[in-house]
Structure 1
């Protein structure tokens, strides 16, 4: 823990604090937040719906007690081994089955159900929310609309949508303090849950990248998982029409569809996953970073800016908190034509964007900044003296 961060002494005692995370299946953006929380509370126990064999950080796991729900046993069955999301209807019950009655402080980190854990009377629950569940609220169509999934999956999703929405709202009653990861998510919390929240932004990890800039080459860059709401299909089509080079790094459920779409676009290249070292090189050498999705926050645009590159982004969502006029171009409509016009603007204005401005903006969103703001928030809401243990 940083020397300048001090939390109430009782929160550093064993069996006083429980950290709750939706599931542990790899190190992504949500797990970066989890890593910081675990760093701040080394004696805390960790609860999660399920855990797979994917590697987690030493800060999260080393010497820490980790408890999973009964879904862990179901995951050992062959039919669920690679499809834990199919257990979604069971998530609310499973998270509430976890016994947290021994703890005085609960810190949940969630984009799904972790905020729904039950607590004892007098315990304090602080939830860090990456987003209310997109797939049961305003982005249901992006996940389960026509052509997105099979007919049976779509029908099942429609059946459970309303019950899950009711539970999602009701379960916030056990949360004392909500933290949103962006102003966009803050508004979604207000809209769907009727609750107020405080914004503390996630962060970029500078240690992943070399501390240098390079002259840009003749290509644009996307780094993303291939999920429908990321709208990479619009970028592929835009660059096909513009006949400009686009490099796409990532993988996911839409990969085959996107590659078929790119068959008529010889200047669009898919590279799959790459190492952090190679990723940094692509960031530094790109003309600009392209982000066509509606995102709750967006880490990859910050990574691009840290490496000195400007951003082209759809002008809604979490990127309004990070990208500025001096570090990128927003386009107003989530359409191919609007994106094409933004790329043309970037072609004309590229020389006006300074690498130093992009780096300086990204440096306002680092791990140390997040850790300090999260700790300051907790110090503002937690009692200095130890609560009586039941």
Structure 2
């Protein structure tokens, strides 16, 4: 069986890239196709076992290395230029255009969908507002026109997929809403083995993510400001200076920390506080693998990956007051949380489980195709 793996781009190693890495482990002889690939040798070896990828014409355009996203209007036509006729199975990892590759009736195209294009659909107005594009002008008009055409192509290209796999029930519902397609849910792989259980907790809360607006670290900082509760914030990003201006003496902004230090901080924290609306959310699962409870939003992926009252506490909305109340609830119930039970729950999101589920599900789809 000849297999092709398709992914939007390789310029960093985040959650979606790790999924492709696992697909490559399952199908070591597969060819990989992507719009652009900027992985260095070290990351290529760890993620793809050193395998080279097939890239699109976007790779060769001026300034593509740093600004390839500026070529968004060309992405649909670029992904359609890959000739995948010889493959029996096409497995796409898609959050934008990877699902839009062209296949014929004799092939099986399975799409592992991380999300329908967020900034073209439910975050469209947030995207315009964040880019100061909502008030007219040539740039605003061009952006709106580009996203309008992307929405049309996005729905059209969803019909090229034979079977969708969603990375959470939250994304399954979005696929049904936008594409009118059903999807099978398989949670993405989390390297839970990298995090060891610790029952010895220190007296601090932890917030960890990239410091970008949608992660809502600002709400967490405000919720802890002027309290006696110690909060450690790990991560870097454009929000750093704004967060510094909000922080009081009980809040420490630690900036970037390496993987070993992050794991140690997660193990020792009394709880992780996580306010982002995520499609899945790997960080809360990593914290639970350490036996650390999670205080998080009861929406999106974290509504599924954290069990209220068992592995953490949910809050209903992204507000300072909701986070404060959730922390109060956690403090009142802290003694009831069992680190061993929390760590055991996290294993349902392990790499081993992901490989088994993907292999089994695609095997059934191939049998049905035959």
Could you tell me the TM-score, scaled by structure 1's length? 0.88
Partner of 2:158: 172
Please report how far the alpha carbon of residue 63 of structure 1 lies from its aligned counterpart in structure 2 after TM superposition: 5.7
Distance (whole Å) between structure 2 residues aligned to residue 318 and residue 116 of structure 1: 25
Distance (whole Å) between structure 2 residues aligned to residue 142 and residue 250 of structure 1: 23
Partner of 1:228: 213
Partner of 1:316: 299
TM-superposition CA deviations, 1:69-109 (whole Å, max 9, x none): 011012xx34x432222222221111112221222210001
Partner of 1:149: 131
Number of corresponding residues: 364
| Distance change in 2, residues 1:254/1:83 (3 Å) | farther
Please report how far the alpha carbon of residue 241 of structure 1 lies from its aligned counterpart in structure 2 after TM superposition: 4.5
Secondary structure at the counterpart of residue 48 of structure 1 = strand
| Distance change in 2, residues 1:98/1:280 (3 Å) | same
Distance (whole Å) between structure 2 residues aligned to residue 244 and residue 64 of structure 1: 48
TM-superposition CA deviations, 1:252-300 (whole Å, max 9, x none): 34333333333xx232222222222111110011110011011111110
User: Contact 2:37–2:53 (CA<8 Å) still a contact in 1?
Assistant: no
Partner of 2:203: 218
Distance (whole Å) between structure 2 residues aligned to residue 69 and residue 184 of structure 1: 31
Partner of 2:188: 202
TM-superposition CA deviations, 1:151-173 (whole Å, max 9, x none): 47655432322111111111011
Matching of residue 256 in structure 1 with residue 241 in structure 2: yes
Distance (whole Å) between structure 2 residues aligned to residue 53 and residue 59 of structure 1: 10
User: Contact 1:322–1:361 (CA<8 Å) still a contact in 2?
Assistant: no
Secondary structure at the counterpart of residue 83 of structure 1 = helix
User: Contact 2:226–2:250 (CA<8 Å) still a contact in 1?
Assistant: no
Please report how far the alpha carbon of residue 64 of structure 1 lies from its aligned counterpart in structure 2 after TM superposition: 3.3
Partner of 2:102: 118
Distance (whole Å) between structure 1 residues aligned to residue 318 and residue 49 of structure 2: 44
User: Contact 1:43–1:64 (CA<8 Å) still a contact in 2?
Assistant: no
What is the aligned counterpart of 2:45 among 44, 58, 62? Answer: 58
Distance (whole Å) between structure 1 residues aligned to residue 44 and residue 182 of structure 2: 32
Partner of 2:354: 370
Partner of 1:298: 281
User: Contact 1:226–1:255 (CA<8 Å) still a contact in 2?
Assistant: yes
| Distance change in 2, residues 1:157/1:258 (3 Å) | farther
User: Contact 2:169–2:185 (CA<8 Å) still a contact in 1?
Assistant: yes
| Distance change in 2, residues 1:191/1:303 (3 Å) | same
User: Contact 1:225–1:252 (CA<8 Å) still a contact in 2?
Assistant: yes
Which blocks of at least 5 consecutive residues in structure 1 are unaligned? 1-9, 11-15
User: Contact 1:44–1:64 (CA<8 Å) still a contact in 2?
Assistant: no
5 Å-filtered alignment, 1:269-280, equals: 269-280=252-263
Secondary structure at the counterpart of residue 66 of structure 2 = coil
User: Contact 2:186–2:357 (CA<8 Å) still a contact in 1?
Assistant: yes
Matching of residue 100 in structure 1 with residue 87 in structure 2: no
Please report how far the alpha carbon of residue 243 of structure 1 lies from its aligned counterpart in structure 2 after TM superposition: 4.6
What is the aligned counterpart of 2:114 among 101, 107, 130? Answer: 130
Distance (whole Å) between structure 2 residues aligned to residue 227 and residue 113 of structure 1: 24
Partner of 1:47: 33
Distance (whole Å) between structure 2 residues aligned to residue 384 and residue 166 of structure 1: 30
Distance (whole Å) between structure 2 residues aligned to residue 81 and residue 260 of structure 1: 34
Secondary structure at the counterpart of residue 6 of structure 2 = strand
RMSD: 2.0
User: Contact 2:227–2:250 (CA<8 Å) still a contact in 1?
Assistant: no
